[in-house]
């Protein structure tokens, strides 16, 4: 015995519109998720290795983004410029970490709740990094000629990054107060950025954010 099938209702213009809209939303969602997954910039790289040449940090920047990864390429911090003079930093899982905001010569790094983490001020060949708005007791990155930056803590030399030609492909080394090589820089021009790693009592996350923001600003 044949089963009786109800007649198929012709699709109306509204049905066709709804199907098309669902398809559009589906593919738009895929495009947005794909864009979000890319996230990190793919431009200029700053590679920081330890004294033995093993990579420890990699910074990558383009015009409006900066990222910090460990030596194995695992992301640690992502920054995106949201407005002139403002960069929002987040952890790899999307958790807000900090915001850098200011003018070309000064920026404040603040936590998500708004409290000040660091104030950074650049004045010609000197960069001050402090944990207070008055820059009291600031660590100072000071340019010394064409081939060297120094770190000063309480007006005493505490480290330097300098070109030390050694025939190993790069002569840029970061040395501490005792003159021991702590880091090497691969394939980059002279920059004070890695000296931030030598600032005492600076939490690692804040150090990465200061380095990232400084490098994004052209240090």
- What's the confidence (pLDDT) of residue 194? 97
| Structural domain count of the chain | 2
Same domain assignment for residues 52 and 114:
yes
- What's the confidence (pLDDT) of residue 164? 81
CATH code where residue 204 lies: 2.40.160
- What's the confidence (pLDDT) of residue 20? 44
Q: Is 20 helix (H, G, I), strand (E, B) or coil?
A: helix
Containing domain of residue 19, as a range? 12-40
E strands, 105-177, are: 106-110, 116-123, 126-130, 139-143, 148-153, 156-163, 172-176
Q: What average pLDDT does range 60-80 have in this prediction?
A: 96
Same domain assignment for residues 76 and 95:
yes
Q: What is the pTM of this model?
A: 0.80
Q: Which distant-in-sequence residues (6+ apart) come within 8 Å of 106 by Cβ?
A: 119, 120, 121, 122
Same domain assignment for residues 36 and 99:
no
Distance CA 97, CA 209 (A): 9
pLDDT in tens, 131-189: 999 999 999 999 999 889 999 999 999 999 998 876 554 579 999 999 999 999 976 88
Same domain assignment for residues 144 and 167:
yes
Same domain assignment for residues 194 and 100:
yes
The reply to whether 6 falls in a domain is no
Question: Residue 61: which pLDDT band, with cuts at 50, 70 and 90?
Answer: very high
The reply to whether 2 falls in a domain is no
């Amino acid at each position: 015995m044949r089963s009786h099938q109800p007649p198929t209702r012709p699709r109306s213009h509204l049905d066709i519109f709804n199907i098309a809209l669902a398809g559009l939303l589906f593919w738009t969602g895929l495009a947005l998720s794909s864009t979000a997954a890319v996230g990190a910039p793919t431009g200029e790289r700053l590679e920081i290795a330890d004294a033995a040449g093993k990579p420890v940090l990699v910074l990558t920047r383009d015009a409006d983004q900066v990222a910090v990864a460990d030596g194995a390429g695992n992301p640690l911090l992502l920054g995106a410029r949201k407005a002139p003079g403002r960069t929002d930093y987040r952890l790899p899982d999307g958790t807000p970490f900090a915001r850098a905001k200011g003018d070309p010569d000064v920026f404040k790094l603040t936590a998500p709740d708004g409290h000040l983490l660091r104030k950074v001020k650049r004045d010609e060949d000197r960069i001050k990094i402090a944990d207070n708005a008055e820059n009291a007791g600031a660590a100072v990155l000071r340019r010394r000629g064409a081939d060297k930056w120094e770190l000063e803590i309480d007006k005493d030399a505490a480290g330097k990054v300098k070109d030390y030609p050694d025939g190993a492909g790069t002569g840029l080394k970061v040395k501490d107060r005792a003159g021991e090589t702590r880091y090497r820089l691969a394939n980059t021009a002279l920059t004070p950025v890695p000296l931030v790693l030598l600032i005492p009592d600076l939490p690692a996350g804040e150090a990465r954010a200061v380095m990232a923001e400084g490098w994004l600003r052209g240090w």
